[in-house]
Amino acid sequence: MKCENQMTLEFPSKSVNEAFARSAVACFAAQLDPTLEELGDIKTAVSEAVTNCIVHGYPDSIGKITIRCRIMENQTLDIVIRDKGCGIADVAQARTPMFTTGGEERSGMGFTIMESFMHELKVTSQPGRGTTVHMKRRIMKRGGKA
């Protein structure tokens, strides 16, 4: 698939940057003319992924989070969110609804929410090396055509 536009962000894993990240991705996605519902879905998925980096990737330190967004042909938004934190030992278990390593205040629904709001979700991770969340969302063209 051909890339038509792209941007990359890099920021510290501080909770104050979660809102910045989701707003920046939403502003970039705006060029696809998404509906408010599509934009809300994208913002929610990005928020969940970035929060996972902050809470789980760097639980006891501040590290780096990188977001790469690309506009691909066929109105597809391609988002990659990566940390170089502690990683996930068992990705399949981590993707199970209600599973969390973040304590009782965490719902364990982050990956489930991302998956429900995006058309594709792939999670790769290596313990001690970090986690990558790759999401794709097709944006409907006005008039109902994808």
Q: What value, to the nearest 5°, has the Cα angle with vertex 67 and ends 66 and 72?
A: 145
Residues in CB range of 22: below 8 A, 6 or more apart: 43, 44, 46, 47, 50
- 4, 106, 115, 138: the catalytic one is 106
Is residue 5 among the annotated active site residues? no
Is residue 74 among the annotated active site residues? no
Instruction: Let me know: does 131 contact 82? Beta carbons within 8 Å.
Output: yes
Length of the chain: 146
- 18, 22, 38, 52: the catalytic one is 52
CA–CA distances in Å: residue 75 to residues 28, 41, 71, 141, 145: 13, 15, 7, 7, 10
- 48, 70, 82, 137: the catalytic one is 48
Is residue 106 among the annotated active site residues? yes
Question: Hey, which residues are catalytic here?
Answer: 48, 52, 106
